[in-house]
Amino acid sequence: MEMIGKLAQRDERVVFVGSDLGAGVLAAMRAASPERFFMEGVSEQAIIGIAAGMAMDGFIPYVNTIATFLTRRCYEQLAVDVCMHGLPVRLIASGGGAVYAPLGPTHMAFDDFALLRALPGMTIVAPCDAPEMARLMEASLDLAGPLYVRIAKGGDPVVSRAELPFTIGRAILLEEPGDVLFVGTGVMTTRALAARELLAARGIDVGMLHAHTVAPLDVKAIRDAARDVRLVVTVEEHFRNGGLGSAVVEAFADAGVAMPVLRCGFPPAYSYAFGSQDHVLTKNGLDPAGLARAVEDILAARTVPA
Amino acid sequence: MNGASVLDARSIALRGRIVDALEGGRRGHVGASLSLVEILRVLYDDVLRVRPAEPSWPDRDRFILSKGHGCLTLYAVLADAGFFPVDELARQCTPDALLGGHPDTHVPGVEAATGALGHGLALGVGMALAARMRGRPARTFVVMGDGEIDEGSVWEAALSAAKHNLSHLAAIIDYNKLQSYGPVSDVLPLEPLADKWRAFGFAVREVDGHDVAALRATFAALPFEDGKPNLIVAHTIKGRGIPFAEGDPLWHHKASVDAETVARLRGALAVAAHA
């Protein structure tokens, strides 16, 4: 979030629009550029419209609130006001996936990718850690159309690598493919990397492609990385349906490529497990051990041609 | 202030343009467009600082037809002002036409795509804030329908407009008192309408929405109060100018307008012109 203030210092087009969230958030920006700092009420529909109206006059509004409210509550505003006009509104979504597990399903965004993938022109990015988030924010300034950013909890282990170039829309190959290829997004890339270590210890070679950009999907990178693997495993903190896994399956189907794909994500149910993000991930087999087990099981079941 | 003032030749001629568009596309929101004619006519003739030859002129006043289904009137007025050729009207809603059943920004002079209700006021708040940030003299005008303001998003935007003291923003309600299904008073009552907006922090005036001189005087009085956004309740008649359509919810939208109906509409306007 502090990055928004830094961008605002550098670029007069940058405006912040909040929705009664985060006491004291961006205090420095508010002090430095009060005329471009708008903390509005609990009124997501109006906020998206207001941001769109500003963007129509050449501003780049960064809008922040909780992921579920920034997607479900104002979906028509996102479609009509933002996407139909192709405006550079930046949706900075707090608490994607299971980050707000203790708060229950009203606050958990398991459907944000699915909802936003249906909007023409919407770019969807889920960075895996803070340094990658910073690289994304740098790149966000010059993206032409709308952008949705699912920010992580904060304090996540750093697995992104500064030497690998970050470009919106380009997946990053973190580990060369083996028999299997993980395609992950957001902080699930971190879990998948850990699962990869567990599988390597058991003699299964797994590559890791980090698809931080869910839409538009980097189909070429995925097809290239999957060329010689037996199995692609998508890993996301999202419903199995409608998100990254669905996008990957569609990409193979559209290309006429027969590729077994295991989609790891949440089942179609509202989660009342509470606890923590890790608790909810583990309960749904999305922790490193669970992911490794799923890969072993599917390979052992010989549903995948050797 | 019942909206029954006499229509002059220009108002009748603009209605003729609306019938041209209706004839071309064989469809349209007739009643919802006819209540708007004088509001848009006065805005484009006397109020808005716009340049038809330069629709993106940065200092222009912004106009949003939030009740996008009233677009037949917007098209007639924009064509009349020279934003695009008048003969586009007759192609309305035909395959690959410039003009569709709701306005969009492919049409020169249209600031925002509307049609889904309850979006325009928030867009207008954003535009007004943008003008303030840029230090531009531009004003923002938003026309909403009465049924439209059932949408909660309108009231969210109203709160922000008052918070930011947007005296260079004016919202106009086309209060024809008839929404799609029936009378506003039956479907979802709005009264006391003016007081609601006052309570939301707006400076409010009411006007006969078909009285050209009264509309001119009302717009000329903007801003009504320092530091407050403006709200004009324009009392209108749905279907105004076509006696057999006036006040009839069945004329809110017509999905198949045949040649006989077009002839009846033209006949009614001819009678009005000679009255």
Q: Which residues pair with A123 in a beta bridge?
A: A147
Could you tell me the two tokens for A177? 């493919």
φ/ψ region of A213 (left if φ > 0, alpha if ψ in -120 to 50, else beta) reads: beta
Q: Is the pLDDT of residue B62 over 60?
A: yes
Residue of A nearest to B115 (CA): A80
Nearest Cα of chain A lies from the Cα of B15 at a distance, in angstroms, of: 29
Contact check, Cβ <8 Å, A56/B123 = yes
Q: What is the dihedral of CA A102, A104, A105, A111, to 10 degrees?
A: -10
Q: Is the pLDDT of residue A72 over 70?
A: yes
Residue of A nearest to B56 (CA): A57
Give me the mean pLDDT over the A172-197 stretch: 98
B150 — contact with chain A (CB < 8 Å)? no
Q: Is B4 inside a domain boundary?
A: no
pLDDT digits (tens, 9 = 90+) for A148-162: 999 988 899 999 999
Contact check, Cβ <8 Å, B128/A53 = yes
Can you give the pLDDT at residue A304? 54
Can you give the pLDDT at residue B5? 74
Give me the mean pLDDT over the A73-81 stretch: 98
Give me the mean pLDDT over the B241-270 stretch: 92
Give the number of A-B residue pairs with CB atoms closer than 8 Å. 98
**Option in B118, B130, B152 nearest A53 (CB):** B130
Contact check, Cβ <8 Å, A50/B125 = yes
| Stretch 164-203 of chain A: residues touching chain B, C-beta under 8 Å | none
Can you give the pLDDT at residue A303? 58
Q: Is B3 inside a domain boundary?
A: no
pLDDT digits (tens, 9 = 90+) for A105-123: 999 999 999 999 999 999 9
Q: Is B2 inside a domain boundary?
A: no
Which architecture does CATH list for A172-300? Answer: 3-Layer(aba) Sandwich (3.40)
CATH of the domain at B21: 3.40.50.970
Give kind and range of the element (H or E) at residue A209.
strand A206-210
Give the C-alpha separation, A172 to A161, whole Å.
Answer: 10
Pairing of strands A206-210, A172-175: antiparallel
Q: Is the pLDDT of residue B17 over 90?
A: yes
Give the C-alpha separation, B73 to B28, whole Å.
Answer: 11
Give me the mean pLDDT over the B121-146 stretch: 98
pTM here is: 0.96
- Sorted by where each begins, the domain ranges of chain A are 2-150, 172-300
Among B34, B31, B27, B28, residue whose Cα is nearest residue B7: B34
B248 — contact with chain A (CB < 8 Å)? no
pLDDT digits (tens, 9 = 90+) for A189-247: 999 999 999 999 999 999 999 999 999 999 999 999 999 999 999 999 999 999 999 99
Q: Hey, which CATH number is domain A2-150, 3.30.70.250, 3.30.70.980, 3.40.50.970, 3.40.50.20?
A: 3.40.50.970
- Please tell me the total count of domains within chain B: 1
| Stretch 54-113 of chain A: residues touching chain B, C-beta under 8 Å | 54-59, 76-77, 80-81, 84-85
Can you give the pLDDT at residue B61? 98
- Computed over every residue of chain A, the mean pLDDT equals 96
Q: Is B96 inside a domain boundary?
A: yes
B116 — contact with chain A (CB < 8 Å)? yes
pLDDT digits (tens, 9 = 90+) for A97-106: 999 999 999 9
Half-sphere exposure of residue A208: CA atoms within 13 angstroms, side-chain side = 21
pLDDT digits (tens, 9 = 90+) for B161-205: 999 999 999 999 999 999 999 999 999 999 999 999 999 999 999
Question: CB of B165 within 8 A of CB of B228?
Answer: yes
Can you give the pLDDT at residue B252? 87
Pairing of strands A180-184, A172-175: unpaired
Can you give the pLDDT at residue B4? 67
**Option in A35, A59, A76 nearest B116 (CB):** A76
Amino acid at A157: P
Can you give the pLDDT at residue A245? 98
Residue of A nearest to B59 (CA): A57
Can you give the pLDDT at residue B273? 85
Give the C-alpha separation, A182 to A39, whole Å.
Answer: 40
**Option in A35, A41, A53 nearest B127 (CB):** A53
Give the C-alpha separation, B69 to B119, whole Å.
Answer: 13
Could you tell me the two tokens for B259? 């040649």
Instruction: Give, in order, the Cα–Cα distances in Å from A217 to each of A98, A154, A213, A243, A258.
Output: 23, 25, 6, 11, 18
Can you give the pLDDT at residue A302? 63
